[in-house]
Amino acid sequence: MTRLIKPIESARTCLNGADAHPALAEQGFRAVRIGGLETDQPPQSLLLHGFTGLAEDWCACWPCTVPALAVDLPGHGGSMAPEGGFDDALRRLLVALPASIDRIVGYSLGGRLALGLLRLAPERFDQAMILSAHPGLIEPDERASRRFADQRWISLLEQKGLAAFVEAWERLPLFASQMGLSPASLAQQRERRLSQHPSALAASLRVHGLAEMPPMQDAIRDYPGELHWVAGSQDRKFSVLAREVAAWRPATRLHLLAGVGHNLLLEAPEQLQGLQLRRQPFAG
């Protein structure tokens, strides 16, 4: 495995302490502590960002009073590119997590990886919050279609490079609701995307793409902890998926955030902070 380039330095006001947890660094993960700026309380929440993002993506939407640990996902920022199967990097992450972590929060790709962690170690996390994530494909034809689509993105990354990929990625209809955001927010998002390494993002799609993710429906149903599922009301596809999850797991706490689309970290930071503060028991 090859360590990736060091990610850009930004949003430092939310960070607390060293940029790497030693055990996580040994397993190939870059980690930053977010929140809890005036306390030595160990972090209880693990934060997993989305595809093309960084750990710092949580800074604007995480309460400064609540300590958490955010990691760069495999193939992103300063973390190692993934190898092997879908579960391999997740097992390394589980081995290295501080004992204080008993809650997981994941957005999009990070939400799917969070589900993977719940599947591998359902008793490890008392509570989970899944944001704008897919519970997994079941039908073989859906899986084959998604693998074909992901291969086109992989080819774009490997043949045309990062700038061409980002240009095409940002034009996806999934992100149309971001058009009303401030130019500064969109510029920062693009800067973080352009700080990535194209071969590592391609590896992320090969190993952790939706087509490679085991179906998580049984793991979700059987999860013994408290599960929150969150989607933006303008994100039609993922709002439907969220309602489906709540229908076949009635204990799920469903949150549909008004007036926002897919990227809740970018589009609904205050609403997400409110969810965390209202659920202060989540953070200890």
CATH of the domain at 216: 3.40.50.1820
The single-letter DSSP state of residue 275 is H
Asked if residue 67 is part of any domain, the answer here is yes
Q: Give the pLDDT band (50/70/90) at residue 274.
A: confident
Asked if residue 163 is part of any domain, the answer here is no
What is the per-residue pLDDT across 186-217, written as a single tens digit (0 to 9) for each? 999 999 999 999 999 999 999 999 999 999 99
Give the count of alpha carbons within 13 A of 23, CB side only.
9
Asked if residue 136 is part of any domain, the answer here is yes
Q: What's the angle, vertex CA 157, arms to CA 153 and CA 160, rounded to 5?
A: 115
Number of structural domains (the chain) is 1
Average pLDDT of the residues in 220-239: 96
**With contact defined as beta carbons under 8 Å apart, do 117 and 93 qualify?**
yes
Asked if residue 4 is part of any domain, the answer here is no
DSSP element (H, E) containing 138:
none
d(CA 224, CA 242): 18
Q: What range defines the domain where residue 46 resides?
A: 12-140+204-283
Asked if residue 35 is part of any domain, the answer here is yes
- Distances 93 to 21, 39, 147, 215 between C-alpha atoms, Å: 12, 25, 25, 20
d(CA 281, CA 66): 11
Q: Is 227 helix (H, G, I), strand (E, B) or coil?
A: strand
> Measured on CA atoms in the order 103, 74, 10, 17, is the torsion positive or negative?
positive
What is the per-residue pLDDT across 132-162, written as a single tens digit (0 to 9) for each? 999 999 999 999 999 999 999 999 999 999 9
d(CA 227, CA 189): 28
- Distances 51 to 98, 132, 153, 203 between C-alpha atoms, Å: 24, 12, 12, 12
- Distances 274 to 167, 169, 188, 277 between C-alpha atoms, Å: 32, 30, 23, 5
Asked if residue 189 is part of any domain, the answer here is no
Asked if residue 208 is part of any domain, the answer here is yes
| Structure confidence at residue 9 (pLDDT) | 39
The single-letter DSSP state of residue 108 is T
Closest CA to 117 of 91, 136, 83, 139: 91
How many other CB atoms are there within 10 angstroms of residue 12's CB atom? Answer: 9
CB neighbours of 193 closer than 8 A, spacing ≥ 6?
A: 52, 53, 162, 166, 169, 170
Candidate from 19-28, 39-48, 140-149, 263-272 with smallest mean pLDDT: 19-28
Q: Is 73 helix (H, G, I), strand (E, B) or coil?
A: coil
Distance from the Cα of residue 195 to its chain's centroid: 17
| Structure confidence at residue 255 (pLDDT) | 96
Mean pLDDT of the chain: 90
Asked if residue 182 is part of any domain, the answer here is no
